[in-house]
Amino acid sequence: MSLERDFHQPQRELREERVTMQLLHGNLVLGFYKDEASATAEHILKAFALGLYDTNHIFRVDKNFVAQVADCSTNRRVPGMTEEQKAHADKKIKGEHVGQTIKHRKGTLSMARYDDPDSGTTSFSILLGDAPHLDGNYCQFGELISGFDVLDELQKLETTRSGIFVMPKERIEIMSTFITGGSGEEKSCAEEKLRAESLAKELHDIRAAKLPSKK
């Protein structure tokens, strides 16, 4: 097994769900920790399920540090939100402390926030390199599963600095997102089976009613 492959092995067991973020530059596939930072993982997964990240963008690309997804409340290109979307986009998530055993390394998903550790909403970063100074200070809730080549392409883009932020000159739009795996998919399959069985029974009853009686 190569060192490169070892480096990208998840640091903790992951949930079954996978989130795919589709960019013009390629796809980023995200995985979420099963036990550590579970409330944060649930919060971000729900935001994806609500479609909040569709037409949002990666507003920050600081080479060898972070690629940061903007918060969803004001940065989506598509106008308007449902009441449920707005409530979730504005909801603040309590900061979860996962300690320093999970490292901020290339591919780590880390919650963005202000100075208040409980001020995170829907903005998060994908690490572009090692950042040990973040360990124990920012909440790591998952890892990139595939798309490391896409991260490398993003780091080649021309950037400009605005205060503390290094931002790409072109908009890196998240064109669409989808979730695979997990209980949601299993539930969907079960519901489809139930609907199919119900329809089959209904058709059977209709046909039986039209058949002549043997009596």
pLDDT tens by residue, 137-185: 999 999 999 999 999 999 999 999 988 899 999 999 999 999 999 765 5
Q: Which two tokens mark 52?
A: 């909040």
**pLDDT at residue 194 greater than cutoff 70:** no
List the one residue out of 33, 45, 164 whose CA is nearest residue 101.
Answer: 33
Cα-based angle 20, 21, 25 (whole degrees, multiple of 5):
125
Identity at 26, one-letter amino acid code:
G
Cα-based angle 108, 39, 16 (whole degrees, multiple of 5):
65
Three-state SS for 211? coil
Q: What is the mean pLDDT of residues 196-214?
A: 48
**pLDDT at residue 192 greater than cutoff 70:** no
Q: What is the mean pLDDT of residues 98-123?
A: 93
Q: How many CA atoms lie within 13 A of 131 on its CB side?
A: 23
Q: What global pTM score does this model have?
A: 0.81
